[in-house]
Chains A and B, each alone.
Chain A
């Protein structure tokens, strides 16, 4: 039975909303994952249910819950005590999960971030420019185009020989894929090309920001073993991840909430 304050982090991403709750010692006691949907205001309301559940949970038995909101919908959380960007939160969450030194790669729904950690703090970061190349959204669009789920896309990709997809832009790449399908290119080769394209963009972003091993992957692709494998191959160093890495932003926000006076 724990007592004392709880910290709750609400990470409203473009695709998914993640919630993490930590106890007074910073231990992760609860996580939630829900689709963000059309409205981040609506997602924030659904996340509020977790807050209410924590307050009334007789095992946690504390009304003292501080909330930090993060992610692109961070300003849509009226019950948050503080708003912190996802860069800072991902950095902090990853430092808790993996260690205080290294490079965090977060592949999100609409952007990809590369965060260099030094002594558990964000020393430097880079984000992709205002386009979906090298993001989860790119994989989503391409999986859709090939008529498979994201999980199936990876399985296909593993079986194929990568066809080169030269367009960086998601819209152009989609036309390119349509062209490849039309020419009868095997689906597994296209899937393989799609994954290579995303992974190469992410690796380039990492290199351009002077990233160095050890590498940690956070965000929605952390349970995609094939992406992790390819990323490690391109970076020339192992990439560590874990199931909780999907919640790194929410966890960092929850830990920040715990610090609040």
Chain B
């Protein structure tokens, strides 16, 4: 485990970085030097309230670029999901300031690829693993998960030499709930016709939010953005054509393919009205019961409701997607599977049936972070939108 008072050093290769990357490193270094605590996480199952209540900033470390994949493949097999390779690659090549300056990384036993990658990541950075159950329908799975959340709390207490109080957890839950409500309010602006903003803007906003040190400042900025876009939409000033076909994106996290998939949809006559991935409505719709007598248990329960394909069974995901298809008056569903993501890829067969049973066209794309399949992807997406 990291000594939280260890000297704060820049990576050896700092001088080779471009200006933008150097600036990010210096910014995070300043944050650390001013006494800031930084905890990296990689999954929407990570109970962020516990990190908040430890007085630490939680930053998402999911890799979304193929830049560091060749480096990662020095250690990891090539036929692995790009998110896993990119995440490891950033740690391995010391190119991500958040990974580099994290006091601790919190990983989880979601898919097999991540689970085993974390063992290698732990060699580079202390990594605490949350044991996520494979399902949530059995009492011992829910109890086991609660114990995991307790273990995370204790690990952070030891790391920082602090006590995490119920009061701090409750305050964190209130603030995180406010953030979830602000996020949902922003999503819901896409219900209007035309939607209030482009899907690329919405997806980029969600993605940028995972790098925020200050939850309160981020909530406030989201609330302001929501007011602005809402006023513009009411004044008929949406940037989106009313003729654009309304698309729901579901499947794997889309942070790494916003340009590749999101922008391609919107360049070919579509608009993303609903992001049904782990940064989207699928996750943000669940609130923590702020008034629960046992606040830590309430936090644990909230996170286990998230519908990810790593769970079995995962039937609630299909029901939720169908609900959103209706709520956002979706013309077509595009499932985006990252190469070698077995759980979403296999589950796609059931999602296809669920969506088509609702009378809505469905298409699955399998892609990664490279540009090798741009041509085929453009043809598929454009053709799908032409059929709507």
B contact residues around A101 at 8 Å (CB): none
CA distance A88 to B269 in the complex (A): 15
- A105 CB to nearest B CB, Å: 16
B379 engages A72 (CB within 8 Å): yes
- A231 CB to nearest B CB, Å: 23
Would you list which residues of chain A between 111 and 131 have a CB under 8 Å from chain B? Answer: 111, 121-125, 127, 129-130
A62 within 8 A of B: no
B373 within 8 A of A: yes
With known contacts A111-B376, A127-B379, A130-B372, A88–B386 Cβ distance under 8 A: yes
B322 within 8 A of A: no
Contact of A124 among B361, B373, B380, B382 (CB under 8 A): B361
B380 engages A127 (CB within 8 Å): yes
CA distance A247 to B380 in the complex (A): 20
CA distance A121 to B380 in the complex (A): 16
A88 engages B387 (CB within 8 Å): yes
B383 within 8 A of A: yes
Contact of A122 among B376, B379, B380, B387 (CB under 8 A): B387
CA distance A46 to B349 in the complex (A): 44
Which stretch from A26-34, A79-87, A214-222, A232-240 is at the chain B interface? A79-87
Question: Residues 365-388 of chain B: 1 if any A CB is under 8 Å from the residue's CB, otherwise 0?
Answer: 010000011011001101110110
B contact residues around A88 at 8 Å (CB): 383, 386-387
B387 engages A121 (CB within 8 Å): yes
A87 engages B372 (CB within 8 Å): no
CA distance A121 to B386 in the complex (A): 10
B372 engages A85 (CB within 8 Å): no
Contact of B373 among A86, A121, A130 (CB under 8 A): A130
The total of Cβ contacts below 8 Å across the A-B interface reads: 37
CA distance A88 to B366 in the complex (A): 21
CA distance A87 to B361 in the complex (A): 15
B376 engages A85 (CB within 8 Å): no
CA distance A111 to B380 in the complex (A): 11
- In the complex, how many residues of chain A place their beta carbon closer than 8 angstroms to a beta carbon of chain B? 15
B386 engages A130 (CB within 8 Å): no
B contact residues around A84 at 8 Å (CB): 386
CA distance A124 to B373 in the complex (A): 21
Which residue on chain A has the smallest CB distance to residue B378? A85
CA distance A86 to B376 in the complex (A): 11
B372 engages A122 (CB within 8 Å): no
B contact residues around A125 at 8 Å (CB): 383-384, 387
Question: Residues 242-276 of chain B: 1 if any A CB is under 8 Å from the residue's CB, otherwise 0?
Answer: 00000000000000000000000000000000000
Which residue on chain B has the smallest CB distance to residue A14? B375
B361 engages A86 (CB within 8 Å): no
CA distance A102 to B376 in the complex (A): 24
A contact residues around B380 at 8 Å (CB): 87, 127
CA distance A85 to B380 in the complex (A): 8
- B284 CB to nearest A CB, Å: 31
B contact residues around A111 at 8 Å (CB): 376
- B288 CB to nearest A CB, Å: 41
B386 engages A127 (CB within 8 Å): no
A contact residues around B373 at 8 Å (CB): 129-130
Would you list which residues of chain A between 67 and 120 have a CB under 8 Å from chain B? Answer: 72, 84-88, 111
A contact residues around B372 at 8 Å (CB): 130
CA distance A92 to B386 in the complex (A): 12
Question: Residues 45-74 of chain A: 1 if any B CB is under 8 Å from the residue's CB, otherwise 0?
Answer: 000000000000000000000000000100
CA distance A88 to B372 in the complex (A): 23
A87 engages B376 (CB within 8 Å): no
Question: Residues 343-370 of chain B: 1 if any A CB is under 8 Å from the residue's CB, otherwise 0?
Answer: 0000000000000000001000010000
Which residue on chain B has the smallest CB distance to residue A88? B386
Of B375, B383, B386, most buried by chain A (CB within 10 Å of CB) is B383
B contact residues around A121 at 8 Å (CB): 387
- B79 CB to nearest A CB, Å: 13
* Apart from A86-B379, A87-B379, A125-B383, 12 more pairs, CB < 8 Å: A72-B375, A72-B379, A85-B382, A85-B383, A85-B386, A86-B383, A87-B387, A88-B386, A124-B387, A127-B376, A129-B366, A130-B372
List the interface of chain B (C-beta within 8 A of A).
Answer: 361, 366, 372-373, 375-376, 379-380, 382-384, 386-387
Please, could you name 12 A-B residue pairs with CB atoms under 8 Å apart, sorted by A?
A72-B375, A72-B379, A87-B379, A87-B383, A88-B387, A121-B387, A124-B361, A125-B384, A127-B379, A129-B376, A130-B373, A130-B376
List the interface of chain A (C-beta within 8 A of B).
Answer: 72, 84-88, 111, 121-125, 127, 129-130
Please list the 10 inter-chain residue pairs (A to B) with the smallest Cβ-Cβ separation, ordered nearest first: A87-B383, A85-B383, A130-B373, A88-B386, A85-B382, A122-B387, A85-B379, A130-B376, A85-B386, A88-B383
